[in-house]
């Protein structure tokens, strides 16, 4: 399951600094690999202490973590929705992502000039929001033109419902609000899913603060939290300056001490990766054997056959049953055999809904 989050933000807000920290392996714990697919795309492991613990217990030959692609999306200027600057490329890059990480400048520094002359994260947010909303409005309006006649004159129920959903979203966008906050249901969403609307994507707001504000936030962070309270979006506080300093430390122990001195449990980069994973409403299940311990990404609510299909489509087609051990039982008892002996290995069928952290083995026949 290839997952991709795009980092967006105006110039000099710290967006590229954060991306560079993500792309620097030294900034991560020992098992957070990074590789470059293209100059602006990095593949980064999702930090998971459970994978580390399973590895210690099983001692496999190979370990494979979950990953997320982080894309540094550049080129936004006012008028991007009309193709100004790198507008079309920028908007196309966002359309390809699953979620948006929106970096906002929440610090004052006379040495770092803001593109609009002053620090105002709400104004910055609105600039990007407006460009995305205008592009979505254009996309929705064009689709309405295609389905309106069928919806009003024909007997096509799907066309009629599509027209109704599009009309709700069009009105919502025209008020300066993003599609993700429109009053539509999951069933409604199916009628417009193919449009890949930019403002319907889940968003994580990253407030880039000075070192003194990294634990408590500041007045700018408070403004952001208030502005997004109706968006059901998470707000993360990070200091890109601190992350840059962490990235320069070679030793993992030195980085841990540095964080401890600042009163931080983990780096902002690690927090960002976790938050991005949560943002997409994802779960992790594990397969664990002497050959390999591996984390697998699934969407919350997946059944056992669907989870098996993430490994290979044949696993889902020929699914017979799943053997499931709860993570806490595995850690407490120390091995698969010990869990079997203690009656902690469950045999589940096609209707079993996978829980976060399940350790699974699938039986199938194709």
Q: Over the chain, what is the mean pLDDT?
A: 84
Classified as helix, coil or strand, 213 is: helix
Highest mean pLDDT among 16-25, 125-134, 214-223, 348-357: 348-357
Whether residue 224 contacts residue 209, with contact meaning beta carbons closer than 8 Å, is answered with no
Domains of the chain by start residue, with CATH: 4-47+63-115+202-279 (3.40.50.300), 128-199 (1.10.150.300), 301-364 (3.10.20.30)
Q: In which band, very low, low, confident or very high, does the pLDDT at 293 lie, cut at 50, 70 and 90?
A: very high
Residue 16 Cα distances to 6, 71, 73, 245, 355, angstroms: 12, 10, 9, 15, 36
Whether residue 238 contacts residue 272, with contact meaning beta carbons closer than 8 Å, is answered with yes
Please give the pLDDT value at position 50: 94
Q: Measuring CA to CA, which residue among 144, 275, 150, 93 is closest to residue 202?
A: 275
Please give the pLDDT value at position 36: 46
Please give the pLDDT value at position 243: 82
Q: In which band, very low, low, confident or very high, does the pLDDT at 287 lie, cut at 50, 70 and 90?
A: very high
Pairing mode, if any, of strands 292-299 and 62-64? parallel
Please, what is the angle between helix 252-261 and helix 240-247, to 10°? Answer: 150
Pairing mode, if any, of strands 292-299 and 282-288? antiparallel
Q: In which band, very low, low, confident or very high, does the pLDDT at 24 lie, cut at 50, 70 and 90?
A: low
Q: Measuring CA to CA, which residue among 153, 161, 148 is closest to residue 191?
A: 161
- pLDDT of 147 over the 70 cut: yes
Pairing mode, if any, of strands 67-72 and 4-8? parallel
Task: Output the known binding site.
Answer: 12-17
pLDDT digits (tens, 9 = 90+) for 27-86: 333 334 445 455 477 788 888 889 999 999 999 999 999 888 888 876 555 655 565 544
Whether residue 311 contacts residue 363, with contact meaning beta carbons closer than 8 Å, is answered with no
- pLDDT of 260 over the 90 cut: no
Task: Output the known binding site for ATP.
Answer: 12-17
pLDDT digits (tens, 9 = 90+) for 178-228: 888 888 888 888 888 888 888 888 899 999 999 889 888 899 999 999 999
């Amino acid at each position: 399951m290839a997952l991709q989050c795009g980092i967006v933000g105006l110039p000099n807000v710290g967006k590229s600094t954060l991306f560079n920290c993500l792309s620097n392996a030294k900034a991560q714990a020992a098992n957070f690999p990074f590789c470059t697919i293209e100059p602006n795309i990095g593949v980064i492991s999702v930090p998971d202490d459970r994978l580390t613990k399973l590895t210690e217990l099983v001692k496999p030959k190979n370990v494979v973590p979950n990953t997320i692609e982080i894309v540094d999306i550049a080129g936004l200027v006012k008028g991007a929705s009309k193709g100004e600057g790198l507008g079309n490329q920028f908007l196309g890059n966002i359309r390809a992502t699953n979620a948006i990480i929106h970096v906002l400048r929440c610090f004052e520094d006379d040495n770092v000039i803001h593109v609009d002359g002053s620090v105002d994260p709400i104004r910055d947010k609105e600039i990007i929001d407006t460009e995305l909303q205008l592009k979505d409005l254009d996309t929705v309006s064009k689709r309405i033109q295609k389905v309106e006649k069928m919806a009003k004159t024909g007997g096509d129920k799907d066309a009629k419902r599509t027209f109704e959903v599009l009309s709700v979203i069009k009105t919502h966008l025209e008020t300066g609000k993003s599609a993700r906050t429109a009053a539509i249901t999951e069933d409604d969403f199916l009628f417009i899913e193919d449009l890949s609307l930019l403002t319907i994507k889940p968003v994580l707001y990253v407030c880039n603060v000075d070192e003194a504000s990294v634990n408590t936030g500041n007045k700018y962070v408070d403004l952001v939290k208030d502005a997004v309270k109706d968006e059901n979006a998470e707000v993360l506080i990070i200091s890109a300056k601190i992350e840059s300093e962490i990235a320069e430390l070679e030793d993992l122990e030195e980085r841990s001490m540095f964080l401890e001195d600042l009163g931080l449990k983990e780096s902002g980069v690690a927090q960002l990766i976790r938050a991005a994973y949560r943002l997409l409403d994802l779960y992790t299940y594990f397969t664990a054997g002497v050959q390999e311990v591996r984390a697998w990404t699934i969407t919350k609510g997946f059944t056992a056959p669907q989870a098996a299909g993430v490994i290979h489509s044949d696993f889902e087609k020929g699914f017979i049953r799943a053997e499931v051990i709860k993570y806490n039982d595995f850690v407490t008892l120390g091995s698969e055999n010990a869990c079997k002996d203690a009656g902690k290995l469950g045999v589940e069928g096609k209707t079993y809904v996978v829980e976060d952290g399940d350790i699974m083995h699938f039986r199938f026949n194709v």
